[in-house]
Chain A
């Protein structure tokens, strides 16, 4: 079995991982990025919309363009950043300091990193309803992959479940791709996403059905329709269900952090609803309770790609610094300020309260 050594192993080549790679390599560290998909950029590559937020985090730039900017940034470090595509980190063994990786389905190898940054992202949530396993019930990210990355028509008529930002943005993107959206169904009494996104799809004539939920998917082999129903404040069905004709039910019901490697690394974890799942305790440098392991992005709590990129920069820089590479201390101050700025105001309430539950002053002090 092949073996490699590296200063910093970065798990995941999305916005957080690429940002971590840029900072760690910029400080002088040898970096290895393992990406499970066939391309770098993570979920950025399927974001055809322009980002919000601050100029520092590429507001006004489309997601897939941001992926290109990050790829260019790491390419300037030449051989100091090695990227492995179609490569999954399947295990981490803290006692041996070894990670096991596989490229494709057959080729296995080991990496002995001095430090690890886990930027493994998140996975799509599923909600329970009869027939939710049949083909045609797809995660919102999967629908984006089909149409925005590979240009494949995901279906003819889509029922969107969830009126958060993802549900709203993907509904709009479906219309751009020429696919009909039957309706957006949302269990809560209000739209969860930004008002501008909701306004855009309402203007296109797509109904947003609040206090509604999907009762079951219809179809023997694949989706041919869905039954939806009005619900009360306890999400119990009210009245008789309505049948919607559709060949795709798109679930935009949230994401859960992909923290498997952090569990394996023995990181102290906590269930934080505001961050959408089990996440590690961390200091301000994104270091976990395992002194060799940092994390960044959705695996540290579900948030936007803008925040993931800053967390990545912090984690990458801190991992390099711990190995003795010289870094400018004021860089951390700048990144922290940018993160604070992103999380300011009412929109950031939920995240700030979530992070407060898992942030520690410093591992020595704890």
Chain B
């Protein structure tokens, strides 16, 4: 992970390291920190492809306002990964287009 090791002003205290998967790859990140931070620390910059032009998108605002960092998390599309805390064994996937919801699973009635 590409983390800042020494800083003249700031001390970083990270929480517990947990494992999660990104597009089937095993990764590690800090529990409770946003998913996008863990991905970026591993050099993952593309989080989704846009519905029409298939343009790659990463994050932009990092405060949950711009919708650029939407991904599929544990099967749920359009999750704002810049403000959604990472949990152990989360399944994070690149989102293609608008994403889809499995209605048969009872997610949305």
Contacts and interface: CB of A to CB of B under 8 A. Distances in A.
Interface of A: 36-38, 48, 62, 64, 86, 88, 104-106, 123-124, 126, 133-139, 141-142, 145-148, 150-154, 176-178, 221-222, 258
B62 A176 contact: no
A123 B79 contact: no
A152 B63 contact: no
B33 interface: yes
Interface residues of B, number: 42
Dominant secondary structure at the B interface: loop
Contacts, number: 117
B34 A222 contact: no
B46 A221 contact: yes
Given A37-B83, A38-B32, A38-B34, A222 B64 contact: no
Contacts of A48: 9-10
Contacts of B61: 123-124, 139, 141-142
A151 B4 contact: yes
Contacts of A178: 4
B2 A153 contact: yes
A222 B37 CA distance: 17
A146 B62 contact: yes
Given A139-B61, A151-B4, A124 B46 contact: no
B79 A105 contact: yes
Contacts of B78: 105
A146 B84 contact: no
Given A37-B83, A148-B10, 19 more contacts: A62-B9, A64-B10, A88-B64, A106-B76, A123-B66, A135-B58, A138-B62, A139-B66, A141-B62, A142-B63, A151-B3, A151-B7, A152-B2, A152-B37, A152-B40, A153-B41, A176-B7, A177-B4, A222-B45
B84 A222 contact: no
B59 A176 contact: no
Contacts of A137: 60
Contacts of A139: 60-62, 66
Contacts of B3: 151-153
A147 to B, nearest CB: 6
B107 to A, nearest CB: 9
B56 A151 contact: no
Contacts of B2: 152-153
Contacts of B8: 176
Contacts of B79: 105
B57 interface: yes
Contacts of A141: 61-63
A64 B11 CA distance: 12
Interface in B1-52: 1-4, 7-10, 12, 14, 30, 32-34, 37, 40-41, 45-47, 50
A150 B76 contact: no
Contacts of B64: 36-37, 88
Given A141-B62, A147-B4, A136 B45 contact: yes
